[in-house]
């Protein structure tokens, strides 16, 4: 299947939305080591493209927590996400693996988002378990919204964190 070209304006909007998605995601993370994985594919493609982003959050769970990512991995992840958001014929899944709460009974908690028609949609815990399966031994949780909304002030969507190089 051959994809239709996407205009530079459409890709610029998708790139901006990818950064908003990642900012909203990282702004909701508790202290600890997190892993975000993304797979993007299309019909007729043998294997989806994938990207992984390690995120370290240090602090006490407040707004001044320090969020660390490796810049080259962040850029690759953001680029692949922007491609999936810009090209509506793509499909995929993004999931977040985080340390589980002590009462959860597993080492990790997983939340997932479906990528279809250029939008990341929150998955229920049951849908996340269906998408991820046994690849990750974890408890599954309902995902939260990561897109911007028309009511939000552009400056208010970014978490008040300092980024550092790992």
Angstrom distance (rounded) from CA 64 to CA 27:
10
Residue 118 has what pLDDT?
87
Contacts 24+ apart (CB under 8 A), 130-137: 131/93, 131/95, 132/93, 132/95, 136/95, 136/97, 136/108, 136/110, 137/106, 137/107, 137/108
Instruction: Dig out the tokens for 72 from the structure.
Output: 């080259």
Cβ atoms of 154 and 162 closer than 8 Å: no
Residue 114 has what pLDDT?
94
* Per-run averaged pLDDT (10 residues), the chain, 166 residues: 78 93 92 95 85 93 85 94 90 92 74 92 93 79 81 41 40
For the full predicted model, state whether its pTM sits above 0.95. no
Residue owning tokens 């009462």: 103
Give the rounded distance of the alpha carbon of 126 from its chain centre.
Answer: 18
Sorted by where each begins, the domain ranges of the chain are 16-164
């Amino acid at each position: 299947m051959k994809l239709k070209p996407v205009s530079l304006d459409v890709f610029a909007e998708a790139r901006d939305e990818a950064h908003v998605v990642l900012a909203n995601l990282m702004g909701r993370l508790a202290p600890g080591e997190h892993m975000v994985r993304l797979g993007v594919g299309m019909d007729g493609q043998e294997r989806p493209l994938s990207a992984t982003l390690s995120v370290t959050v240090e602090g006490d769970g407040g707004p001044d927590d320090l969020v660390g990512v490796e810049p080259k991995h962040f850029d690759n992840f953001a680029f692949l996400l922007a491609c999936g958001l810009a090209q509506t014929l793509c499909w995929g899944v993004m999931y977040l693996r985080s340390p589980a709460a002590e009462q959860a009974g597993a080492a990790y908690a997983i939340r997932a988002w479906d990528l279809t028609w250029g939008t990341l949609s929150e998955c229920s815990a049951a849908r996340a378990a269906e998408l991820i399966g046994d690849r990750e031994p974890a408890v599954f949780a309902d995902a939260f919204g990561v897109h911007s909304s028309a009511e939000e002030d552009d400056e208010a969507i970014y978490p008040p964190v300092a980024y550092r190089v790992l």
